[in-house]
Structure 1
Amino acid sequence: MVWLLVSISRDRPGLLNDVTNVIRSRNLNIRNIVGNNYAILIEIEGEVGNELINNIGNIDGVNTVNAINLSFAILGFVQENFMRALVFYVMEREPELIERLGYEYGKELMRYVLNSMRDFRDALYFSLRMLTALGVIALVNVQFMPNRTVISIAKSFDEDVGMPMTKGIIRGLFEALGNVKHYVKIEKRDFYRDIVIT
Structure 2
Amino acid sequence: MTWLLFRVVRDRPGIINELSSVMFSYGINIRNIIGNSRALMIDVEDNVNSLLTGMGSIRDIEFVNAISGPIIPLSFSQRHFMTAIKTVLAQMGTEYVGRLLYRIGYEYARAVATEIPMGDPVSTINTYLYTATAYNRLAFRGLEIRNNEVRVEFEEPFDEELDGSFTEGYIHGLINTALSRLHYVNVEKTGNTYRAMAKPVEGLAIY
TM-score band w.r.t. shorter chain: 0.7 to 0.9
Residue 113 (str. 1) matches residue 112 (str. 2): no
Q: CA deviation at 1:127?
A: 1.5
Aligned AA for 1:109? V
* Alignment correspondent of 2:51: 52
After superposition, give the CA deviation of every residue in 1:73-118 in whole Å (9 maximum; x if it has no partner): 3748xx9xxxxxxxxxxx9x7332211111111112221332xx33
**Helix, strand or coil: the match of 1:60?**
coil
**Helix, strand or coil: the match of 1:196?**
strand
After superposition, give the CA deviation of every residue in 1:110-141 in whole Å (9 maximum; x if it has no partner): 21332xx3312221121211211121121111
- RMSD, aligned α-carbons: 2.4
Task: Give the TM-score taking structure 1 as reference length.
Answer: 0.81
Aligned AA for 1:55? G
* Alignment correspondent of 1:156: 157
Aligned AA for 1:167? E
After superposition, give the CA deviation of every residue in 1:16-43 in whole Å (9 maximum; x if it has no partner): 1111221222232212211111110111
CA–CA distance in structure 2, aligned partners of residues 180 and 60 of structure 1: 37
CA–CA distance in structure 2, aligned partners of residues 178 and 191 of structure 1: 27
CA–CA distance in structure 1, aligned partners of residues 34 and 179 of structure 2: 32
| Identity rate, percent | 31
Aligned AA for 1:6? F
Aligned AA for 1:16? I
Any unmatched runs of 5+ in structure 1?
80-90
Q: 1:177/1:35 Cα in 2 relative to 1: closer, same or farther (>3 Å)?
A: closer
Q: What is the total number of aligned residue pairs between the two structures?
A: 182
Q: CA deviation at 1:195?
A: 1.2
* Alignment correspondent of 1:6: 6
* Alignment correspondent of 2:169: 168
Give the 5 Å matches for 1:133-148: 133-148=134-149
Residue 35 (str. 1) matches residue 35 (str. 2): yes
Q: 1:190/1:54 Cα in 2 relative to 1: closer, same or farther (>3 Å)?
A: farther
CA–CA distance in structure 2, aligned partners of residues 169 and 154 of structure 1: 14
